Each structure stands twice: as C-alpha cells, then as structure tokens.
Amino acid sequence: MNKTGYSLFLAALFTGQALMAQSDRWQQRVHYTMHVKVDVNTNRFTGTQVLEYTNNSPDTLNRVFYHLYWNAFQPGSEMDVRSRELGKTVLAEDKKGNPIRDWDGRVRDRIANLSDDQIGYQKVTSLSMNGHPETYKVQGTILIVDLDKPILPHAKVQFDLAFEAQVPVQIRRSGRDNVDGVRYSMSQWYPKMCEYDYEGWHPTPYIAREFYGVWGDYDVDITIDKHYVLGGTGYLLNANQIGYGYETPGIKVVQPEGATLTWKFTAPNVHDFMWAADPDYVHLVRKVSGGRTINVLYKKNVDLLTKAFDNLTDSMKVRYENDPKRYIEENDKRWTEVADAAVKVLPYMEKRFGAYPYKQYSFIQGGDGGMEYPMSTLLVGPSLGGAFHEWMHSWYQGMLGTNESMYPWMDEGFTTYAEGEVSAYYHSVIGQKDAPLAYGETDLPKNQSGSYKGYFRLTKSGFAEPLSTHADHFNTNYAYTISSYSKGAMFLCQLGYIISDSLRDKTLHEYYKEWRFKHPNAADFVRVAERVSHMQLDWYKEYWINTTKTIDYGIDSLWEDGGKAFIRLKRVGQMPMPIDLVLTFQDGSTETLYVPLDLMFGAKPEEQGGTPRTVFDPWPWTNPTYTVQTAHHLKDIIKAEIDPSQRMADVDRRNNVLELKWQ
C-alpha cells in the first residue's frame, strides 16, 4: 500500500462515523495530555494530567472512577492478601511429596515484605472538572469522584489532575529493577479513567489480572535523566533532538543542554500508554511495509550479563562453551532474531487476522514475563513465542478491546490460538516445516497441541471452572491460566471443527472488521460466526463457556443387516457435538459419515476433498445414541474413528477408534 493509500486507511479506521456505521454500540472517548518529571535517584515522579472526557453514552454520569494501579503494591493490599490466600491452596504433590501450592510465582508473599521505599503508590494531589475543584476519596486502587455537576449525555468535560507516584520494586507487570536489571517498566503508571460502557461503570480493583480501558488519544511528555533510553507506546515527536536510534537517518543529533531530556510522545486511538526506560538499552530498528517501524530495545550490561552467566548451572554453561562472552553474543543474537522475525510474520498476521493500523510496534525488555500494551510489549526475555503472543494481543486486546476481566478467554485464548498459527508460519518460512510441537505432542491439532494438553490436565484435576468466571474470581491461579489461555484457544479450534476451518477463519476476519474499537462480548463474536456459517451456535457458547461439561463420544457397536454395515455411536459426556466418523476400508479408501447436531440447524461444508461424505439427519441432543450406516459390508471396514482431526476435545479417546482385524 502506498503512503497515500495507507493514510486513507488510517483515516477510515479511526473515524468515529466510519466505525459507527458498522454497529451502533457507543464508545466513551478520552484525550490525555500528561507531563511527568522522573527522579531516577528516588524512583519517584510528579505529574500533571489534563483529560478531555467525552460522554458518548445516553446516560447522565454523576460520578467517575479512576484506576490507581500502583496502590496494589503495598502490604495489606487486596493483591497482597489475595496472593497469600491462593498460596494456601495445594494443587498436588511433587515427586518428593512436597506440596505444589497455587502461587503466582512472581507475587507470592513479596508485597507483604516491601519496605516504605520499595512500595508503589499513586497519590492524586488535586482534581477539578471544568475548573471546579472536586472532592474525591481513595478505596485501594480506585479513586472515586462524586461530581458536583453531572456529565450530561454527549457532553465533553475537562478534568485537571495533579499526582505524584513512587515506582514499586518489580513484582507484577510494572516496576523498577526487574530480574534482568531493567530500571523502569512503566505500565499502569498514571491515574486512568475507568471504562463506562453499555453495562455501566467498570471500576475493577487491581487484584491480579486483566485490564479494560477507554480508547482515545495520548500526548505524553516525560522528563528524565538524559542517559536513559525510552521506548513504548506512541510516536516520538522530537526524535531528532533525542537520538538513541530514533532520529532521521543522516541527521546529526544535538541534545539540549542540561542533565535531563524531555521525550515527547503522541499516540492516536489507544486505550493505554506504557513506557520503559534504561541507560543500557540497545535499540534495533526494522522497517516494514507501509512505512511502519519495528523497534526492539533490550538491556546490554556486560557486568549484569556476566553475573547472570555465573548463576547458570554447569550444564547450562556448557551450551556456551563455559564462556560468558558466548552467552552475551547469544543474547544479542536472540534479540536480533525477534526484530527480524517480526518483519517476516507481519504480512501473515495481517492476512490471517486483519490489518495492523499503527505506524510502529516495539518489543521492549522489561516487566516480569510478557505483557501487552498498545503499540508495544514488555518481554522479560527474547522468546519468539512470547513476542508473537504479545504482538497478537494488538488485535484481541488492543483493537477489539474485550473487557478482559469479564472475558479473559476472548483475549488470552484468541491470542494463544493466533500465536500457535503465527509460530507455525514462521517455522515454515525459515525452513522448519516440521518444527517441534508444543509439549512433544504428535497426535493433537498441530499448532495448538499445548492448549489441548493443558485443558485435558485441568479436566482431570477437579479445579475446572466455567470460562464465564471473572478473571479475578477464579478459585485458583491454575484454573484461570488453563481456562483463559488453553480452553479459550480451543474455543476457536473446535469452532473450526463445528463450522469448518475456512468459515472459522472468515469469522475471525468479519469479527475484526465489525467489532474493532467497540469492546465486543462473547455473544457478539458468536453472532458473527452464526452469520458467516448460517448455523446456530448459542448452544456451543452455553456449554463451552458457561459450564465445565466435557465431551466424550464413543463407538458403541457395529453390525451388518441387508448387506449394509451399521455403527451405533454413543454420547458418554454431557456436552453434545456434531460428529465426523471416518471409515477406512480394506482397499485403502475412506468415507466420512457426518452427523450434525440438531441445535445447529445446519451442516458444515465438506472439508476433505477426495473423501466421499454422507450427511445424516441431525442427532437430537437429548438422545444418548445415534446409528449411522454405510453401503459397504461390515467386513470391508478395518477402522472406524470419531474425529481423526482431534479438534474435538474428547476427554477419553480410547473409545473413539475401533480397529477391526479380520482373519
């Protein structure tokens, strides 16, 4: 796409009228203008914030709420107590008989042990609306403002706010001095207006997990020690004064006098703003189609990397020939691979999942694992799988913006599914068409085998909970993780089994086109799939999302009557599904006997070219058995198998396959 075409695409994508033409769900709107000054010696900063808030709802708002996320990093906070309580749950025992506790290993009881100079906090020192001071109170990580004058429907107001903050020691997502020594991972760092949508306010306390925000524009000035290199959300407006790899090629950078630099960022149509800073960042730059930029910033401090090498086990040191220099070189190589891989996979990502609308994306070392933000992600290390996963969040968290607290599986699960597809594509591009499968699985759906294995493990554990559970209210971290990531990914895998992979892929495209920048929910996605497939799918949402019922089908019996073979199928589990039964005959030919579920009110198109398929009348979901027949004799059959693709998450496949050995 040429520059003019790309500009027109962005204009259409970000125009409210264009978006509203696709659906009638209104969105609130924000415009933040923030100025912060960071003291790298005290790890504190002060800031001012001007927030233009547009109430596009039909409702009159008498109060507003802000997130103060960093208040979670204080002893006795809800995050602290919740983590310690979950740590009391014993999931199992290890091989030595020691209890395996349900900790989030990054949090554990660390918050309870923070000293005053290690905690995090955000303190609002003044707040006014349209020039009138407002009273407010703080409840944990939420600021509550009861307004003197209401915000009327379709009105725009201005909030002026001053605040101060202390950066917590790195524990969860944001903080300072993480395990790799990155100085600042600045996420959830500013007072942020809570989302108000068609379901009302969402002042969700910061307990552990996901986020939900209002789309809008950000203008952020950050003044910090001039030796620090920054990266994150947004476009750097004064790049030629800053340098550090952001400047226009060939330009001589002349930084202003003084001990600090002010970095000026702007970010259009995003729902959050993250940045990170470190004096040892190496900045890699790659250019991709449409004039877009890939940034990779990673910390290269020889002393810290040498210390990290010294802490390796002897067997790990052998991988680097017991030479710390080789370890450092490998670190450089792996971060470079992230930059180069991003260039390779972007065209595939856009083809499969929709256009990426921003002019840049940044992979930044920091945080405590991998965590996504608009135009950027924090990565604790140069994992390609982590990089692909977090970048795909730009679609399901960044552009589609589902309420992650209510529907974490629609973000994490869909992203996990996409990660598997992108990873498989990347391995094929670099010549590894038979790349190692996750967890060594060879019989499950190739790109999603890890998700299936995790789900099957969860179903046997006794800890399973419905996907409709609020992200913070799962009884265990274990159940949340497997449910949201693995079972959420399998929602799309099985959707391919139900409606066909091709219609599933088309559904994802239509979902992106219709619901980007509109906060869709589960019903919205299912409705798109129904329109694409011309089938009813509410039953699938009900069983897979709102219950923990499992799938188990089996081959009950075979017989011959009148020269035809009959096969009786049995539903053992509580969740009904359509059935693909594939018969293999002695001459090597095959036949698919397809039984749609009555609740679908339709049938999927034929998927396997060259294999004859017989479509039977729908299987009533109330009936435990169903009989199909083939024109072949019974002795012609050497194998009968339910769902050879194994996309259907049958929890006991021992009764799915029957092999017949005739004398």
Which DSSP string corresponds to 18-59? HHHTT------EEEEEEEEEEETTTTEEEEEEEEEEE--SSS
Cα gap 46→151, rounded to integer Å = 28
Domain count, the chain: 3
Does 527 share its domain with 562?
no
Q: Residue 431: what pLDDT?
A: 81
pLDDT for position 16: 39
Same domain, 542 and 573: no
Q: Note whether residue 332 is domain-resident.
A: no
pLDDT at residue number 443 = 67
Asked if residue 576 and residue 513 are part of one domain, the reply reads: no
474 assigned to some structural domain = yes
Among residues 499, 526, 546, which one ends one of the domains?
Answer: 546
Question: Does residue 603 share a domain with residue 483?
Answer: no
Same domain, 558 and 519: no
Contacts of 529 (CB under 8 A, 6+ apart): 495, 499, 503, 504, 507, 511, 537
Query: Which pLDDT score is estimated for 508?
Result: 98
Q: Which domain holds residue 68?
A: 24-214
> Does one domain contain both 126 and 187?
yes
Is the residue at 537 inside a domain?
A: yes
Query: Tokens 């991709």 identify what position?
Result: 288
Question: Do residue 599 and residue 459 come from a single domain?
Answer: no
Asked if 527 and 615 sit in the same domain, the reply is: no
Nearest CA-CA partner of 422 in 397, 394, 387: 387
* Domain end among 493, 512, 546: 546
CA-wise closest residue to 478 among 464, 467, 466? 464
Residue 402 lies in a domain: no
Distant-in-sequence, close-in-space partners of 583: CB < 8 Å, separation ≥ 6:
567, 590, 591, 592, 593, 630, 632, 637, 639, 640
- Domain shared by 42 and 163, yes or no: yes
Does some domain include residue 11? no
Domain end call among 186, 214, 242:
214
Indicate the SS3 state at residue 293: strand
66 & 181 share domain: yes
* This prediction's pTM: 0.94
Low-confidence ranges of the chain (pLDDT < 50): 1-21, 435-442
Q: What is the dihedral of CA 443, 655, 488, 547, to 10 degrees?
A: -170
Q: Kindly state whether residue 491 falls inside one of the protein's structural domains.
A: yes
Shared-domain flag, residues 585 and 514: no
Identify whether residues 605 and 496 lie together within a single domain: no
Identify the bridge partners of residue 132 per DSSP, sorted by sequence position: 129
Question: What CATH number has the domain bearing residue 163?
Answer: 2.60.40
Q: Would you state the pLDDT for residue 246?
A: 98
